[in-house]
Amino acid sequence: MKQFLIILVAAFMITSCANNNQSSEKSGSSSKKVSLTAAGATFPMPYYNLVFKKYTKSQGTLVTYGGIGSGGGIRSLKDRVVDFGASDAFLSDKKIADLPAPIVHIPTCLGAVVIAYNLPGIESIQLSNELLEAIFMGKVTKWNDAKIKAENPGIKFPDLDITFVHRSDGSGTTYIFSDYMSKISAKWEAEVGKGKSLKWPIGIGAKGNPGVAGTIKQTVGAIGYIGSEYAFAQKINYAKVKNSSGNFIEPSIESISASAKGEIPADTRVMLTNSSDPNAYPISGFTWIILYKEQKYDGRSLAQAKGTLEFLNWLIDKEAQAVAPQVNYAPLPAKAVELSKQILASVTYDGKPILK
């Protein structure tokens, strides 16, 4: 019995260690070069990979990014194992309150979620809000359904089952998609709602944007939503979607940018889906970087905090933003850059602003 107790205590100690391993060696002294660690969303990853490398090359500061998903990014931030997290969905007030200290959101670029499909020989289709609801809720199950034909005159649709492919993992892409669906369909809002992962009425799941893109590409008759870059890069066809002004819009840098022309709140926490701009692609959104407002925590050095802030300040500036269109993300509108700069200026170290 005594031995058993010892084992139990030892086991408990090991598990409790695991829960408390908050990185205490974050205190890179000022003599050493700072290196930054970040983790989060996979949606902006093609952009981040490119632009982070560029920064490392020009400034010598190593920035490593782990694409572990928005939720993972926030959890890492909560555990204070990263310098900043990245998320495609902004944190709700409740989630912010769950974190140990106040945080700020910095938008980094705009992306679109496209409705990709696989119908050999059919290069362009257009889908109204009613059709999106009907297809994604399982009311229209065949490609040659009269409703689809009616909206796409001149296209000969095959007699094929529609296979809806969605994300099997939680995802910011799903959040943007479901936020849009909730705005255009009361039925969707009531029965499915919005979130990073959902109770899907129909369809099959695949993991990650690359997984959904691959599954659509391999499955004739498939339709699904993916981050635009993944559809562009893999040359998967995508649909034009009807925006709130009644125009069918193709996702492009211009139409994505147009979605951010409206009001942006001071803390930048806004969903841009279903924009009122007549030229806007309606399933667009910001993607954010999230960091603590007070950078002195866990023995972080001033140099580390400064390195983080300088990098973020660079990220929202012209040089980095110019990279975004190369990988089919839209750069931030001037208004958002201005707001972000104000937010970054409000970030402090021991109560004093870091950026001059």
Q: Which stretches of the chain bind another protein, using CB under 8 A?
A: 7-8, 10-12, 14-15, 18, 68-72, 74-75, 92, 160-161, 163, 168-171, 192-200, 203-207, 218-222
Structure tokens at 53: 């490398």
Cα–Cα distance measured from residue 104 to residue 31, given in angstroms and rounded to the nearest whole number: 28
Query: How many residues are given for the chain?
Result: 356
84 near 290, Cβ under 8 Å? yes
Nearer to another protein, 198 or 258 (CB): 198
Helices 172-184 and 129-136: crossing angle in degrees, nearest 10, is 120
Nearer to another protein, 168 or 348 (CB): 168
Nearer to another protein, 192 or 343 (CB): 192
CB of 134 to another protein, least distance (A): 18
Nearer to another protein, 76 or 255 (CB): 76
CB of 75 to another protein, least distance (A): 6
CB of 211 to another protein, least distance (A): 8
b/e 106-138 (16+ beta carbons within 10 angstroms → b): bbbbbbbbbbbbbbeeeeebbbbbebbbbbbbe
CB of 36 to another protein, least distance (A): 21
CB of 41 to another protein, least distance (A): 10
Nearer to another protein, 11 or 101 (CB): 11
Residue 138, phi-psi category: left (phi > 0), alpha (psi -120 to 50), beta (remainder): left
Q: Which residue has the tokens 């925006």?
A: 243
